[in-house]
Amino acid sequence: MAKPKRTFADAGGTTWRVTVNNVGASNAHVIFQHPDPRRTRENRYANYLERGPESQNVAGRVDPATVLAKLDDAALAELFRRSMAIAGHPSIEGRLV
């Protein structure tokens, strides 16, 4: 099954592909994938924490499509600001940290 996807444009004008994976009972990884496949070292991730009643079920899993639907542009911007590099040299909006 294909992962639900959407896009997010950062302040620098880069349009990132956004996916949700590695879901748990109350959390998931939100992945920001750089649009240029030669620049995958710039891919980033942030942790999303579910706060609804379903997060109390330790045997359950949050649904990636539901998480993605809950994330509006403001929430994605906040997650992007807190995101970390998956690999390579850590950067924020193209600047090395």
Each residue's pLDDT tens digit, 34-79? 999 888 888 999 999 988 777 777 777 888 888 899 999 999 999 9
For residue 42, CA distances in Å to 58, 62, 94 come to: 33, 26, 8
Q: Is the pLDDT of residue 33 over 80?
A: yes
Q: Are 70 and 28 in contact (CB under 8 A)?
A: no
Between 83 and 93, the higher pLDDT residue: 83
- Secondary-structure breakdown of the chain: helix, strand, coil percentages, each rounded to the nearest 5: 30, 30, 40
Place of tokens 């970390």: 84
For residue 91, CA distances in Å to 1, 6, 18, 71 come to: 31, 22, 17, 23
Q: Is the pLDDT of residue 4 over 70?
A: no
